[in-house]
């Protein structure tokens, strides 16, 4: 019964979708300044007369002891981005959320010694989908295909990412 009530209340809340996320990332050398990583998420819609665009991002999921060398971060693909407005409380709150597909770290997120990179799985299953606060999206990520079932995490994409992984 409680589950049905929760679903009913959620259906009353206004939801607004959006296709772009600006992620403030502290500058590598001047930590009081920020760079903006602009990430896009068009779901199934075309982006600039081309295919859909659902960018890869870093998600902070827990303490630095999680996921080996990834230190609590995982790679995820942005799916729908949306805001939900809680009109049921006295102080109306707006929550920015993202549906993401999280990639499972291979070998616990530790470096694969022969290639010198961290690898992640590229298999799709239902448990990989999560709704996260956009505050947990901490920056842009890049992955490189490496066979059918895995991707390589490019930790050389910028100095900040390089230093956080090493």
- Per 3-state DSSP, the chain is made up of helix, strand and coil in percentages (nearest 5) of 20, 45, 40
Residue 145 lies in a domain: yes
Residue 116 lies in a domain: yes
Residue 5 lies in a domain: no
> Residue 1 has what pLDDT?
47
For residues 102-131, give the mean pLDDT.
76
Q: Give the least confident one: 7-11, 13-17, 131-135.
A: 7-11
For residues 103 and 76, is the Cβ–Cβ distance under 8 A? yes
User: What global pTM score does this model have?
Assistant: 0.73
For residues 67 and 150, is the Cβ–Cβ distance under 8 A? no
For residues 102 and 66, is the Cβ–Cβ distance under 8 A? no
If DSSP codes are grouped into helix, strand and coil, which group holds residue 155?
Answer: coil
For residues 107-125, give the mean pLDDT.
74
Residue 129 lies in a domain: yes
Residue 59 lies in a domain: yes
Residue 104 lies in a domain: yes
Residue 68 lies in a domain: yes
> How many folded domains does the chain comprise?
1
Residue 2 lies in a domain: no
What pairs with residue 29 in β-bridges? Answer: none
Question: Domain limits at 85?
Answer: 15-165
């Amino acid at each position: 019964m409680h589950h049905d009530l929760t679903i009913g209340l959620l259906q009353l809340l206004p939801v607004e979708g959006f296709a772009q996320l600006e992620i403030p990332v502290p500058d590598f050398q001047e930590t009081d300044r920020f760079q903006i990583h602009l990430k896009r998420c068009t779901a199934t819609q075309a982006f600039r007369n081309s295919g859909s665009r659902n960018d890869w991002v870093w998600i902070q999921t827990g303490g630095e002891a999680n996921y080996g060398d990834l230190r609590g971060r995982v790679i995820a693909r942005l799916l729908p981005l949306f805001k939900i407005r809680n009109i049921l409380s006295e102080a109306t709150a707006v929550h920015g959320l993202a549906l993401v597909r999280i990639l499972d770290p291979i070998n616990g997120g530790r470096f694969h010694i022969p290639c010198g990179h961290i690898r992640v799985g590229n298999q799709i299953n239902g448990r990989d989908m999560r709704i996260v606060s956009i505050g947990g999206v901490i920056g842009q990520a890049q992955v490189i295909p490496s066979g059918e079932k895995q991707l390589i995490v490019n930790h050389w994409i910028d100095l900040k990412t390089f230093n956080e992984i090493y």
